[in-house]
Every structure is written in structure tokens, then in C-alpha cells.
Amino acid sequence: MSFPLRDTDLRHLWHPYTDATTFEREPYLCIDSAEGVYLFEDGGGELLDGISSWWCVSLGHGHPRIVEAIREQAGDLQHSILGNMSHPRAIQLAERLSQIAPGDLNRVYFASDGSSATEAALKMAVQYWRNVGQPERTRFVSLEQAYHGDTLGAMGAGFVEWFHEPFEHVVRPALRAPSPHYPGNDPEAEARHCDDAFAAMEQLLRAQAKEIAAVIIEPRVQGAAGIWIYPADYLRRLRALCDELDILIIADEIAVGFARTGKMFACETAGIVPDFLCLGKALTGGYLPMSATIARDKIYDAFRGEGDDKRVFWDGHTFCGNPITAAAAIAALDVFAELDLPASCAPHEARIADAFTAVGAMDSVAYQKTLGMIGMCAIREDAGGAPLAREITLAARERGLFLRPLGTSLYLWPPLTATTPELDRMLNIFHESIEACTPAAVAK
Ligand SMILES: Cc1ncc(COP(=O)(O)O)c(C=O)c1O
């Protein structure tokens, strides 16, 4: 697709996660406006947004309530400092978040985006141990192919080889445990795989507990790895083990927080309370960059200076807790409450589960998994793997659905506010596009 600003774009814009050479050669989308579940291209054309615009626009585009809150707040107060000062929107939002966060996650620290929220949690964990007299606890533990952001600290905590390999030697790597995600649909094999993955994690934690500051984990879904969904049981066992060994858990719910997994927070699907909960993306309905690291009371209390500056958390960002972004987040929380999310998603979740069961039976599909408002499938390597997954997303685009593949994984992550006909249309196009691209020679 061509659009009026394309030449200027190619001269001046450095696109994230984009290979300039292929980008310059190929047609690409330029989205000019959006409403509800629809993206409108510059120069015509409309697409259903099958991935909630990088997993954040959970309440649909152009929600009047959120747009109005932003407008109104911009006229009243657009910036104010939070260091040794406060403002009403940050206070109200902190209260609202601690009300909906599980357990005693009551202390809300605002950051700017997902990466700065996970960085804050990692730093808090290290300094917590220093403040309570165990400064030797400085290591992090994460899952293989975990993703916690692209800043240096976050890359070290996670590590998706595909994105982060050039920085391998400048980050401090976390200790890594195998992923509990099982790439298949056999429940017994999945349970065995989860047991094995947990046993490896347990061995690692028991051997090095005294050096470990925290385990950082994406609860229930390793997003960037390829939407790797895994069982709740793993989290329950991890919480029990970390309690026994006195190790902190950082739950990175930047992607899966806010009603995506069938509960408001993915940790709740396992009934666990982490020591830190990192939120971003859908926090403002996906309208403005904002994130939060929510800590349990005991963590916060360990940072009271009591005359000693060195106990204080010296970290902060110019725009943390910004009044406009906070107003957008408060409006988004109002919409979540009014629409009774996630409870009201239950019928949609069932439709996604049914549709992906059918997808899983297709010849070119290796396996499928669903959780709440997420459906994923993996394209068989011997059917075409990642190149075929890319081809399928282009076929979906021609049929009116916007998707982005992650290696061999294809997934649907629709706005929670999609109507039943809109969701059904997405599911139908998803299925049809795989069918249309499956080579005739492929048989399971
Ligand atoms: C689990 C997780 N953590 C952290 C991040 C980083 O968030 P941001 O891109 O806002 O820095 C992401 C982004 O996709 C994510 O999925």
C-alpha cells in the first residue's frame, strides 16, 4: 500500500523492530485513524485490529470516556513532580490500583513504560535485600526466552535471543530456568513437562537461594517468546517455594494484566500474590505511555529512610505518574468496572477456545493454546514454519484482519470490547487465512 508520506517516512523515521532493507522494498501499513476494533489506513482501507495494537488497546480505539478524560486533564494540569510532592490524579490512581491488585500489593510506584517498570522492580528487589541486611542477594532468575523489556537491565533479566543477542556481552544475565510452556496439546505430556521445568527451577533456587534477589516471571504467558501459555500450577508451586526460601517474585504483567487472561491479573488465575506486580500497556487503555510497579507493604516499609538517605529508592522518571496519563488510566479503570471486565468476557473466551480447537486440527498447525482473551497456534516447521506464518498474516490482512506473527506463532489478542460479530469475523478470517495458505502437500 502506498500513502502520501511514504517517501518522507523512508527518509527520516527509524522504525523499531524493523529491518530497513526489506521495509523499504515492501508495501506497508500507515494507520491514520482508528475506532473501536477498526484501524483505518491513510489512503483508505480498514482492518480489524487482531492484536489490540501491540497488546495495549484493550478497550478499543477512540473510547470517548478516555479521550475526554485526557482532554479535560490537559486543560487543568499537564505535568507535576511526584518527588517530595503530589497531585490528585496520581493519588487517586494509586488508590484504585491498590484496591484491585491482589493481597497487600498496596504501594504504587509509577514509571513510564513497561521496561522502566520492570527495571524499577529489579532495582527495588536488590535494594530491599541491602536494606534488610542481605546485600549479597543480587542475582535474578528468569525463564528461558523471557521478555521483560529492551533496556539493559530488563534485557539481562529476560533474554529473547532473536532480539537481544547483539547485547549478550553488555548485560548481566539472569540465572535461567526452563520454560514451563509445553509445545503440544497432550495434557499428560504438558503436566510432565511442567513438572520437569519446575524441578529444574527448584534445583536452581535451592542451590543459590542466598544470592538470589528475585525471580522475575511473565505469569501464564511468555508473550514475546511466541505467546507461550503455561499452566497455573507452575506459579502456585513457585510461590510456595519462594516463600520457603525467602525469595521475592516479580510478576511482569505488562502484557497480560487487565482482564486479558480471564481474571483482572494473571497471577489471580493461580491465586498467588507476587511481591511486585508490574503493569503497563492496557493501564491507560493503551492510550498513553504509563506503567506502575506495585509492591507489597513489607517491601515499601524497608525503604523508609529514618534519617539514612541510603535506604531511600533513588529512582524516577520525568513523566512518572503524569497527570494526563493518570487521568487516562482512571478513566480506563472506570470503563473496566462499568463493563464488568473480565467477567463479561466469558462468552468471548469460550468462542476463542472453540475456534482455536478447530485451528489446532488444521494440517499446517502443530498445536494451539488459549487462555482468556488470547488464542495462539504454532505453524509446523515442516509445513513452512515462520515464513508460512508471515504469509498467513498477509493473507489475513487481505481479508481485513491485522495480525503480527512471532516466529512460527500466530495469535489473536483482540480488544476486550469487540462485539460478538466482530470477534467472530476475526476468528473466521484467522481460520480461513491458514486454510488459504496451507500447501496441499501438507498432511498431519
Ligand atoms: C512482559 C513484558 N514486559 C515488558 C515489556 C516492555 O514494555 P514496553 O515496550 O512498554 O517497554 C513488554 C512489552 O511487550 C512485555 O510484553
What number of other Cβ atoms are within 10 A of residue 168's Cβ?
12
The helix-helix angle for 385-398 and 420-437 (nearest 10°) equals 130
Mutate to test the pocket of ligand 1, among 143, 147, 220, 256 (most ligand atoms within 8 A of CB): 147
The whole-number pLDDT of residue 27 equals: 86
Going from the Cα of 288 to the center of ligand 1, the distance in angstroms, rounded, reads 14
> Of 38, 109, 128, 147, which is the active-site residue?
147
| CA 162 / ligand 1 centre spacing (Å) | 15
What integer pLDDT is reported at residue 443 of this predicted model?
Answer: 67
Q: Given the residues 281, 287, 369, 411, select the one marked as catalytic.
A: 281
The DSSP output letter for 339 is T
What nine digits make up the cell of 79? Answer: 505535568
Q: Is the distance from CB of 159 to CB of 174 less than 8 angstroms?
A: yes
Measured between alpha carbons, how far is 80 from 20 in angstroms, rounded to an integer? Answer: 38
Which segments of the chain belong to CATH 3.40.640.10?
65-338
The three three-digit cell numbers of residue 132, written as one number: 534488610
Q: What is the location of CATH 3.90.1150.10 in the chain?
A: 6-59+342-437
CATH architecture of 65-338: 3-Layer(aba) Sandwich (3.40)
Quick one: which atom of ligand 1 is closest to the CA of 118? 4
Side by side, which strands form the sheet with 46-49? 31-35, 38-41, 46-49, 401-402
Pick the catalytic residue from 252, 263, 275, 411.
Answer: 252
Q: How far apart are CA 345 and CA 260, in angstroms?
A: 9
Span from the CA of 444 to the centroid of ligand 1 (angstroms): 35
Q: Which is the closest atom of ligand 1 to the Cα of 115?
A: 11
Record the pTM.
0.98
The set of protein residues with a Cβ atom below 6 angstroms from ligand 1 is: 113-115, 118, 147-149, 218, 223-224, 252, 254-255, 280
Output the CA 50–ligand 1 centroid distance in Å.
Answer: 18
3-state secondary structure of 155: helix
Closest by alpha carbon to 404, among 51, 25, 163, 147?
A: 51
pLDDT digits (tens, 9 = 90+) for 68-80: 999 999 999 999 9
* Atom 8 of ligand 1, nearest CA residue: 114
Give the model confidence (pLDDT) of 294-330 as tens digits.
Answer: 999 999 999 998 888 899 999 999 999 999 999 999 9
Active site annotation includes 252: yes
Give the pLDDT mean for 19-29.
91
pLDDT at residue number 159: 85
- pLDDT value at residue 215: 98
> For residue range 135-156, what is the model confidence (pLDDT) as tens digits?
999 999 999 999 999 999 999 9
Q: What is the mean pLDDT of residues 365-389?
A: 97
Q: How many A from CA of 435 to the centre of ligand 1?
A: 32
Ligand 1 mean position to 114 CA, how many Å?
Answer: 5
Atom of ligand 1 nearest to the CA of 289: 10
Atom nearest to 54 CA in ligand 1: 14
Q: Is 17 a catalytic residue?
A: yes
Residue 217's H or E segment, with its range, is strand 212-217
Q: Residue 342: is the preceding peptide bond cis (ω within 30°)?
A: yes
Return the CATH superfamily for domain 6-59+342-437.
Aspartate Aminotransferase, domain 1 (3.90.1150.10)
